A = this chain, B = another copy of it.
Amino acid sequence: MFEEMAKSPATWLSGQGDESQVVLSTRVRLARNVAGCKYPTSADSETRKRIVSYFDSVLTRSEILSKGQYYKAADIDRLDQDFLIERHLISPAFLDGDLSKTVLIGPEERLSIMVNEEDHLRIQALSSGLDAQSSFDLAMQYEAEISHHLEFDYDKDFGYLTACPTNAGTGMRASILIHLPGLVLTRDIDKVISRITRAGLIVRGFYGEGSDVLGNLFQVSNQNTLGLAEADILSQITEVAREIIEEEAGARQQLKSEAADMIEDKIWRAFGILKHARVLTSDEVMNLLSAVRLGYVMKVVEFIDISLINEILLLSQPAHLQKYYGTEMDQNQQDFVRAQMVREKLRDTGP
């Protein structure tokens, strides 16, 4: 499964779009539940199976949905599960407990719909760069399509009802994946994070809830789904993103004027290690790529482009690496083969 997918970069990491030098991608996720059915977390197995069959039948009746790739959770092996998580197409929670679950992956992997994750439906859309509107439009297109066939649990006061009340209302979460090496290096990041948090947003690492910050990649998302219109959430995340981008630019400017040699040295060493190392962990690659990405934007290493950096970032992840080489490997083998893959990808780049 997913062999072809593993060989091509994810569209949402293409390095295209607005502000793509700092914002890797924008995600919008909608939580929806089918009226009259218990939510997956409290439902019995029969109910969960019924939800899947409802969704199956939507697929047969919807032209747009039927074009997606559709998988049963139980049919996805462990490596492919990890692969889909790394590709941000499913969440780790999707694999917990009972596997009466399915996932639909839309064209170009910009869309995925998880059935029976925490809610009956989790519809998410991804865009490269800072583009909350088109992620929202894409998610809504599928939401509207499904709503022709299924009735969602909706309260005129509360809005959409969800398994966890923090998601009720719009049922919407918008998030950006943003690269902030400048603010980390100037040590202003904590100040910025606490201001974002006070403004009612959440800041996390690359892999979402509870994950470490690797490669100076931060996920910023809205916390409030209730009492705000969708358009307000989209403007809020976009506005916050623009503020952070400006602060990151300021930090980079400061580094350039106060510590140019140190920064250039850090960038070149990272490039030198990526180009020559024989053993590389996935975490180290993320951190080294962070320096190289900064170097590209600061015009220190202009010969390497963002889409290649993103491709290496994606392929360096354990499941991607194993899928890319078509074989399961232990940790040591992965670290060895990862270094080989990175060298191959960087072979023709250089000053």
Q: Residues of A at under 8 Å CB distance from B?
A: 261-262, 264-265, 268-269, 271-273, 275-279, 332, 336, 339
Per a CB cutoff under 8 Å, which of B268, B275, B277, B332 touches A277? B268
User: B261 near A332 (CB under 8 angstroms)?
Assistant: yes
Contacts A262-B279, A265-B279, A268-B276 aside, 19 further interface pairs with beta carbons under 8 A come to A261-B278, A261-B279, A261-B332, A261-B336, A264-B278, A265-B277, A265-B339, A268-B277, A268-B278, A269-B272, A269-B273, A269-B276, A269-B277, A271-B276, A272-B273, A272-B275, A272-B276, A272-B277, A275-B276
CB distance from A303 to the nearest CB of B (A): 13
CB distance from A310 to the nearest CB of B (A): 22
**Main secondary structure on A side of the interface with B:** helix
Alpha-carbon distance A269/B275, docked complex (angstroms): 9
Alpha-carbon distance A273/B288, docked complex (angstroms): 13
Closest to A274 in B: B272
Closest to A275 in B: B272
CB distance from A287 to the nearest CB of B (A): 14
Alpha-carbon distance A273/B271, docked complex (angstroms): 9
Residues on B with beta carbons closer than 8 Å to the beta carbon of A265: 277-279, 339
Residues on B with beta carbons closer than 8 Å to the beta carbon of A276: 268-269, 271-272, 275
Alpha-carbon distance A275/B264, docked complex (angstroms): 14
Alpha-carbon distance A275/B339, docked complex (angstroms): 18
Residues on B with beta carbons closer than 8 Å to the beta carbon of A275: 272, 276
Alpha-carbon distance A332/B261, docked complex (angstroms): 9
Alpha-carbon distance A271/B276, docked complex (angstroms): 8
Alpha-carbon distance A279/B276, docked complex (angstroms): 18
CB distance from A47 to the nearest CB of B (A): 51
Residues on B with beta carbons closer than 8 Å to the beta carbon of A272: 269, 272-273, 275-277
Residues on B with beta carbons closer than 8 Å to the beta carbon of A271: 276
Alpha-carbon distance A278/B270, docked complex (angstroms): 11
Closest to A280 in B: B265
Residues on B with beta carbons closer than 8 Å to the beta carbon of A277: 265, 268-269, 272
